[in-house]
Chains A and B, each alone.
Chain A
Amino acid sequence: MESRWIASLLAVSLVFGLTSCGKKKGAEQAQEGEVVRIGAVSPLTGPQAHLGKDNENGTRMAIDDANSKGIEIGGKKVKFELVSEDDQADPKTATIVAQKLVDAKVNGIIGHLNSGTTIPASRIYHDAGIVQISPSATNPKYTEQGFKSAFRVMTNDVQQGKVLGEYAVKQLGAKKIAIIDDRSAYGQGLADQFEKAAKAAGGEIVSHEFTTDKSTDFMSILTSVKSRNPDLLFYGGMDAQGGPMIKQLKTLGLRAKFLMGDGGSTPEFIKLSGGGAEGAYSSLPGVPLVAMPGGKAFADKFVAKYGPIQLYAPYCYDAVNVMIAAMQKAGSSDPAKYLPELAKIRHEGVTAQIRFDEKGDIKGGAVTLYQVKKGKWEVLETVTAASAEK
């Protein structure tokens, strides 16, 4: 009995000993001024992998551009390195990955993609003092936690939900509105903001149902929604559910307009809808890329290298560049030193002129509305912050 104990305990120690000795990692601490490591986190696998890859590509392009420019920080030439991680759009994986990046002592984080992953990870980055810029998380809670290290380059859902709610009632003329959300931080947050705004504009919410960001069968929910005869159905969630949802909506013969937030504003939505996406509406914070200076150049370059832009790649591009700009201004890639510079920076990006308010939100955001016409997303109109005050 004892010998087996000793044998297995020795085996355990051997396992650890071997891994300790055999795999000595090189210097983990990036030497200041030589290699600046930027961590990027997005769902590289799973139903949102197409968006995550898009994010990674946008970040990568920014880093490649920066490297080719030969940037100097604090008088020394630097090389930027991308450390990309996959959080599978899952909050639990996000915290594990965040911890990994913190332990690897990166100089900054571009991420995460979803609000549901960005919010828990932000605590880890804040505790470690690493700057985090999210290109796409829109839930207001992210910047309400009081973390000085948390920023985002996309307008949050308070703004987006407001625009959507008013648009639904005023422009689309919907009187009875049904809402479905996927209970994620993003979907629920956006749906709640939408509901508030729609009610304030005079609309009646006839039903509010829930699903998850992994479901594919919405027949029961849609059937019960159909019985309330809504003029419009709003879905707070991502394209991986929105696509099948609108397809099943058409199967059931539910005659209502379909509206989503930025999560549905993708080519994948149209693909997954099996032809049923015609006439659907969605919104995307920011101005259309072609209307921005530098936007067309970015789009052409990106498409040539990586293929069509899915959704947030331009925002990732801007996030990296604003971070690098702050580093240059502070003369250091140490988060503690460039953080104050980032807070008061003014940067011309491809999506907007970037300035942050005291919470880390981007100032003066606009929201653009789109509709699927002939199998493609077409711009309808842009609502600016001036006309829709917080």
Chain B
Amino acid sequence: MDIFLQQLINGLVLGSVYALVALGYTMVYGILELINFAHGEVTMMGAMVALAVISALAGSGVDLPGMVIVLLGLLAAIPACMALGYAIERVAYRPLRNAPRLAPLITAIGVSIVLQNVAMLIWGRQYISFPPILPVTRHEIGGASITDLQIFILLLSCLLMAGLVLLVHKTKLGRAMRATAQAPQIAGLMGVNINSIISITFILGSALAAIAGVMVSAYYGLAHYYMGFMLGLKAFSAAVLGGIGNIAGAMLGGLLLGVIESLGAGYIGDITGGFLGSNYQDVFAFFVLILVLVFRPSGLLGERVVERA
């Protein structure tokens, strides 16, 4: 039974990263009804920028504790991603605000490809390793082990999500965001600057993505130009699972998807008698996505949207 607990812990850690990235997807979709394909790549960029700073600091012999170096890397990554998110919205999505849905979707794919290749040109195609500056201190709970880093990721994600919920529900800005998501024209009439709100949404989502990116690269110990693709796809599946457009849904979806993936990969060998193994891990996210979209397209926490003629 102890591996159940371990898989659960693995799943929750993974899931909290998914949740952070899913929040970006869900916020943008709630306002623009657009799947921002490039969001996974923004996460990757955050990881790469942070890693560049961290590697430089760690290699230069400056005597700072590991956590401080990582923090400095974060401080570099967050504004970079914010600027990137803002730029993407202005350049690629705003001109197509009134075009039929196919256009921004294809543009989003284009942006994703551009970001991947820019990262590849800057940093190369090989894996970039995270310098071993963080201590690996393990704790044993009931036969399962959890490291400080894992605990940190879980706590930070919870804090950030709580912060976002507070922002969206208790502040004026949050009210403006919710209004824009519900009815942009009316919100505009009420004095909300739609363009600013949309930009702020992208910026917020990108900041969260930067943090998620740094956490992923610290957790796995490496980053590379293609890491955003799968992560983005799975995070989007998580957002859909929870109900796209719904912030609590994104968080729930993320955690749930992480746990499903982890438990699934761990137990599928036993369930299928060895026919399918843990190498099918990536398939879980897609299966969940398809099942959700076919049977409950509005997701777990979403409202049913009636198809108007």
In their complex, do chains A and B touch, with some C-beta pair under 8 Å? Answer: yes
State the A residues within 8 Å of B (CB).
Answer: 45-50, 183, 209-212, 216-217, 219-221, 223-224, 226-227, 240, 243-244, 247-248, 250-253, 271-276
Among A211, A226, A253, contact of B279 (Cβ-Cβ < 8 Å) = A211
Is B222 at the interface (CB under 8 A from chain A)? yes
Asked if B220 contacts A216 (CB within 8 A), the reply is yes
Name the residue of chain A whose CB is nearest to the CB of B265: A220
Q: How far is the CA of A201 from the CA of B94 in the complex (A)?
A: 67
Asked if A252 contacts B145 (CB within 8 A), the reply is yes
Asked if A223 contacts B224 (CB within 8 A), the reply is no
Asked if B124 contacts A253 (CB within 8 A), the reply is no
| 5 additional contacts (CB under 8 A) given A211-B279, A244-B221 | A220-B10, A240-B126, A251-B147, A272-B221, A272-B222
A224-B126 CB under 8 A given contacts A216-B220, A244-B222, A251-B147: no
Q: How far is the CA of A252 from the CA of B141 in the complex (A)?
A: 12
Name the residue of chain A whose CB is nearest to the CB of B227: A216
User: 5 smallest A-B Cβ distances: which pairs?
Assistant: A275-B132, A220-B265, A253-B145, A45-B125, A274-B132
Asked if A250 contacts B136 (CB within 8 A), the reply is yes
**B149 / chain A contacts, CB cutoff of 8 Å:** 251
Is B40 at the interface (CB under 8 A from chain A)? no
**Which one of A48, A220, A248, A272 has the highest number of Cβ atoms from chain B below 10 Å of its Cβ?**
A220
Name the residue of chain A whose CB is nearest to the CB of B140: A253
Is B3 at the interface (CB under 8 A from chain A)? yes
B52 CB, min distance to chain A CBs, angstroms: 16
Asked if A244 contacts B220 (CB within 8 A), the reply is yes
Sort chain B's interface into a size bin: 35 or more
Interface residues of B in 260-283 (CB under 8 A from A): 261-262, 265-266, 269, 277-279, 281
Among B125, B136, B220, contact of A49 (Cβ-Cβ < 8 Å) = B125
Asked if A216 contacts B279 (CB within 8 A), the reply is no
A224-B269 CB under 8 A given contacts A47-B127, A274-B130, A274-B132: yes
Asked if A223 contacts B222 (CB within 8 A), the reply is no
Q: How far is the CA of A219 from the CA of B9 in the complex (A)?
A: 10
**Which one of B14, B126, B140 has the highest number of Cβ atoms from chain A below 10 Å of its Cβ?**
B126
Is B2 at the interface (CB under 8 A from chain A)? yes
Q: List 24 A-B contacts (CB under 8 A).
A: A45-B124, A45-B126, A47-B125, A47-B224, A209-B277, A209-B278, A212-B279, A216-B222, A217-B220, A217-B281, A219-B14, A220-B7, A220-B265, A220-B281, A221-B265, A221-B278, A224-B3, A227-B3, A243-B222, A247-B221, A251-B149, A274-B132, A275-B132, A276-B132
Among B127, B266, B281, contact of A223 (Cβ-Cβ < 8 Å) = B266
A214 CB, min distance to chain B CBs, angstroms: 8
Is B175 at the interface (CB under 8 A from chain A)? no
Among A49, A209, A248, contact of B126 (Cβ-Cβ < 8 Å) = A49
Asked if A272 contacts B127 (CB within 8 A), the reply is yes
Interface string of B170-182 (1 = CB under 8 A from A): 0000000000000
Asked if A251 contacts B129 (CB within 8 A), the reply is no
**A47 / chain B contacts, CB cutoff of 8 Å:** 125-127, 224
Interface string of B111-152 (1 = CB under 8 A from A): 000000000000011110111100010101000010101100
**Which one of A47, A211, A253 has the highest number of Cβ atoms from chain B below 10 Å of its Cβ?**
A253
**A212 / chain B contacts, CB cutoff of 8 Å:** 279
**B150 / chain A contacts, CB cutoff of 8 Å:** 251
A108 CB, min distance to chain B CBs, angstroms: 28
Asked if A223 contacts B6 (CB within 8 A), the reply is yes
**B132 / chain A contacts, CB cutoff of 8 Å:** 274-276
Name the residue of chain A whose CB is nearest to the CB of B132: A275
Q: How far is the CA of A212 from the CA of B230 in the complex (A)?
A: 14
Asked if A251 contacts B262 (CB within 8 A), the reply is no
Q: How far is the CA of A244 from the CA of B227 in the complex (A)?
A: 14
A219-B126 CB under 8 A given contacts A209-B278, A252-B145: no
**B3 / chain A contacts, CB cutoff of 8 Å:** 223-224, 226-227
